[in-house]
Amino acid sequence: MKRLLLILFLIAVTFPPAQTPNAIPSRPRIGLALSGGGARGFAHIGVLKAIDSLGLPVDYIAGTSMGGLIGALYAIGYSGAELERIALETNWNQLFSDQLPRNILPYPEKKETDKYQLVLGLKNREIQLPSGLIRGQKITQMLSRLTYAFQNVKDFARLPIPFRCVAIDLISSRKVVLSKGSLSRAMRATMSLPTIFYPVSWGDSLLIDGGMMDNLPVDVVRDMGANIVIAVNVGEPQKSKEELNNIIDIVGQIFSLANTEAQEWALANADLVLTPPLGSMTGADFDKADIRRSIRRGHRVAVDSLAALLEIRHITDPTHIHSADRAVVDSTRLYGVQIAGNTTLPFSLIDSLLDLRPGMLFNADTLKAHIYALRRSGLFKTVKGSVQAVDSLRYKALITVTETQKPHIARVTISGQKILSFRFIYNLLGIQPGTVFDPELIDRRITQLYSLGYFETIYYDIKPLSENRITIHFHVSEKPRRELRVGIKYDDLYNLTMAIGVQGTNVLIPGLRMENELLLPEYLAARFKVFYPSRSLTFPIYPFVHLG
């Protein structure tokens, strides 16, 4: 606390009140650095709820792993309370599984549910080991749903709160600070815990969780321009031999050991460090009771540091200027306008309707009047406005909109396929030009396509073409053409039974699947199956042949 007060004093000296009418006192910028920590990261939500209640302005956010996920959502406008609702309503244990519910699987795939415990790709008769235990298709779709309104924002500095997240490039062995591109893919990359999740392809790079090099990115948020850094540290302390009970614990310990020097630097260089008292909670504790407890403890550590947070709010308050200067201030002026949430309507159209111009006299009533004009246009379901102080006399207007009319899909493009044709995938998706863009519909179609077993991952992005028209682009990654499948089960009739199968996909014709299977040792049998798990027909028929 004494260190923080000294820092705030130095900042007050660095950003002094104006002494002449022409001098405009600058407001110190606040940055949040949110660490990784798996399920322990839900404590960030409790801290953010406290920051919301205090009205503390946040100018920059940088996060790693779970801190990157929560930080990104906060940066695009989700409040601490909304993040809490999302965290508690989500079934995280299901989300971190690639297994889809049986009710959406085609009939041949339903019969194979839980039959094989080990599935490995085959290429040129050689076994291909997987890149991780979880492909992450479900969480990829969830992140797309939560962030789709910002898919046309490719520069994270243009988000309502400028944002960065940290990953590691497996190719160059370097830390990568993600600042541009697809927000949902950046979020997926920063949480790609090695051996657990498949890494994320990003240009020429292959990205994994950044926690091994920079789990608490104080340096990143400093580089963004923050004068005051609040660091929230939820990383797990190093465990004893008896506490290393599973692969999550071991990977977490490796991260902790590799990150020691960077962690020490971050803790020493943050202005305020909040460390929620999470006790024995691990990064794998995703049950609802654990999530609630984590959020409560995050809020508690913020309340315990209330005096420090209030001091930061006081020194960053733009109205905190010398009384002699107030007499010459007729009104604050608009510094700039930032618009977010529009998926099809161009910025220029919204900007002309809003009619806010940099340099104009500006106050709360001015903003309300211009927002009312925007609502009156009928183009928007919701319009939210807020202001962010640049200094004591200038403010930036932040406008977040939800469009009334959903855009129409003008073009559908697909990339990443190597064996299956564009036409084959396009027909299975069933999304054609002229279709109204509906994120829930797109999500269902992706889930149906994924259920057929042809792909490892599927995700999409959108690009505005003109007013009310967009291009939707699907990125796919196909599964290996052949797979070795091994399973073991025990029953009262045959005791222990092992199933060994080799399955080929896209044999003879696209989508056709063949499998040779051997059962042993008590029940000895050989089986041959041919099936075509495609939903391209107008009724649910799945051609299926079973011999043996």
Within 8 A by CB and 6+ apart from 361, the residues are: 330, 331, 332, 333, 334
User: Residue 363 in 3-state DSSP?
Assistant: coil
What residue type is assigned to position 225 of the chain? G
**Distance (Å, whole) CA 183 – CA 420:** 28
For residue 86, give the nearest of 288, 386, 340 by alpha carbon. Answer: 288
Task: State the Cα–Cα distance between residues 346 and 103, nearest whole angstrom.
Answer: 41
Cα separation of 118 and 135, whole Å?
14
Residues 79 and 327: their CA atoms lie apart, in Å, by 36
In the block, residue with structure tokens 């049986």:
102
149 touches 343 (CB < 8 A): yes
Q: Which residues of 267-301 are buried (b: 16+ CB within 10 A; e: fewer)?
A: eeebbbbbbbebeebbbbbbeeebbebbbebbbbb
Block residue for tokens 């102080």? 389
* Distance between CA atoms of residues 451 and 62, nearest Å: 35
Distance CA 530, CA 527 (A): 10
**214 catalytically annotated:** no
Sequence-ordered alpha helix ranges (H) in 15-136: 43-54, 66-75, 80-89, 92-95, 107-111
Kindly give the pairing relationship between strand 228-232 and strand 30-34: parallel
Q: Is the dihedral of CA 95, 97, 98, 104 positive or negative?
A: negative
**C-alpha 372 chain-centroid distance:** 32
One of 59, 169, 209, 290 is an active-site residue; which one?
A: 209
Cα separations in angstroms, 434 against 270, 406, 471 = 51, 12, 11
- Three-state SS at 448: helix
In the block, tokens 């009262």 appear at 492
Q: How long a stretch of residues is the chain?
A: 548
Side-chain-side CA neighbours of residue 262 (13 Å):
21
Give the separation between CA 460 and CA 325, rounded to whole angstroms.
Answer: 53
Of 65, 182, 294, 392, the active-site residue reads 65
In the residue annotation, 65 being an active-site residue is answered as yes
The tokens describing 430, both together, are: 């069933």
- 18: alpha, beta or left? (left if phi > 0; alpha if psi -120 to 50): beta
How many angstroms separate the CA atoms of 284 and 103, rounded? Answer: 28
Give catalytic residues, as residue numbers: 65, 209
